[in-house]
Structure 1
Amino acid sequence: MEERVLTDDKISSFAIYLKNEEKSKNTIEKYIRDVKLFFAYVKSVEITKEKVIAYKNKLICDNYAIRSVNSMIASINSLFVFLGWLDLKAKNIKLQRQIYYPEEKELTKAEYIRLCRTAERKHNERLNLILQTICGTGIRVSELRFITVEAVKSNVAIVSLKGKTRSVFIVKELKKKLLRYAKNQNIKSGMIFVTRTGKAINRTNIWREMKSLCKDANVNPQKVFPHNLRHLFARVFYGIEKDIAKLADILGHSSIDTTRIYIISTGTEHRRCMENMRLII
């Protein structure tokens, strides 16, 4: 039987495999980063199931969040599937479903509005519109490249990512703002949110620009990152429609369980609901 030893060549071959499986660039980078951390732990010695379990326990002892540990184990398990080392796969740590979201991490609608107003006061119209586009459509920051002049004019962006295609509707008011911005920037076709050289804007730059608004907007920086805008869209939509299946389609989720994470209420709302039950006499 082949000795189960991890090498740089095997990791490189795994990266090619992921690319051929049409995984997104970010997913590939994440998997390879996780695998390299595991490689640094096991070094160039034979891998056994005991070593894999020991590594999982080490991640827990190093205070990684349970979701993070499970995510890292999933990356390593994917490597084992590629190499045919199926007996080395480790089980996920069972995690009770979260019933409410920590308030210190949830971006409220009022805070979102303050961020937009602050970006406007700082004359950063591009960032202002990026915030409104993500929050107003529910798209991922990586999907901003599908917001083109042509898509906005047709009122719908066709997003094709992760092997799935979906339609993202652009409401009238957002359409008007985006077309006005494109005209002012002399963008006649293609992507609307671009750098000075015409390339798609980088998620890191968006994150950094968002963080720069926090102090003036009086918003906790821990709440401010692009994905939280998507969560806000999901909560507001669900609050109106109460249709989790439709919301999953809009967000591009394959599983409703993923969508359920987006619409978890805060502890305060959860407590208020329990108090309104008036079961304590």
Structure 2
Amino acid sequence: MTQNSYDKVAQALEFIADHWDEQPELLEIAKQVRMNEFNFQKLFSEWVGISPKKFISVLTLEHAKRSLADNESVLGAALDSGLSGPSRLHDLFVSVEAMTPGEYKQQAKGLKIRYAWHQGVFGETLILATDRGLCGLAFLDDRGKQECFADMSRRWPMAQLIEDFDYTYPYMKQIFQHPDQVDPSKRTKLKLFIKGSEFQVKVWQALMEIPKGQLVTYGDIAKKLEMKTGAARAVGTAIGSNPVGWVIPCHRVIRNTGYLGGYRWGLPRKLAMMGYEAAS
């Protein structure tokens, strides 16, 4: 999909994010992006795999509540399925390596990080990678490229940052390639190299145990980590610091009321991710 097409879809998603509880009709949404109903439905369905009407139904409050009720023990089920530690995500095999306390203290001194912006299914995407694996994935938002990059790079204050499209492109392709286009015999492991406190890393690993297309609450994560009652706020802060969007699926966490909550790279993009997974 071209950037212009994504911009149209993103604009529609922004409208849906503000009005999904009103169940807007197709014509109303199409007008927001200055398209006729037929062309808009075709564009939207090609992107997400389902119609705008079905997409909105996936995002309703009642649907979210039912999903939470159905998946009350979803993390427990994931663990029973062997998804603890190195886990599977989107038909990708993912292994996680966190910085050691000593490396953390050194603030990535001597580490080389290669980065580049790429066009992706969720808009322009920033990839950062080292020889030990993917260390950052972010999306362009209203702050602009310079500030988005600064936000990610300041996590590694002593690292050497090198712009390198060719080095980061294979990560982009592997992460966002549709499962139907992947030959299982040629599937390779996606390596993550992440920097965070011990608590943050535990939260991020818990996120990776949420099955694709499922939803859990901040409280579910706190319970899984055997934290005290009221720890959901601390979990939310750790989730907001997620350095690898989409791969570490913080978009699968919502409030215990069923409301969607916020998202670091914008609620419309969170809606897009939820709808994309629901369709597949």
TM-score normalised by structure 1 residue count: 0.31
**Structure with greater Cα Rg:** 1
Q: Tell me: higher relative CO, structure 1 or 2? Use CA pairs within 8 A at least 6 residues apart.
A: 2
The structure whose residues are more often strand, as a share, is 2
TM-score normalised by structure 2 residue count: 0.31
The structure whose residues are more often helix, as a share, is 1
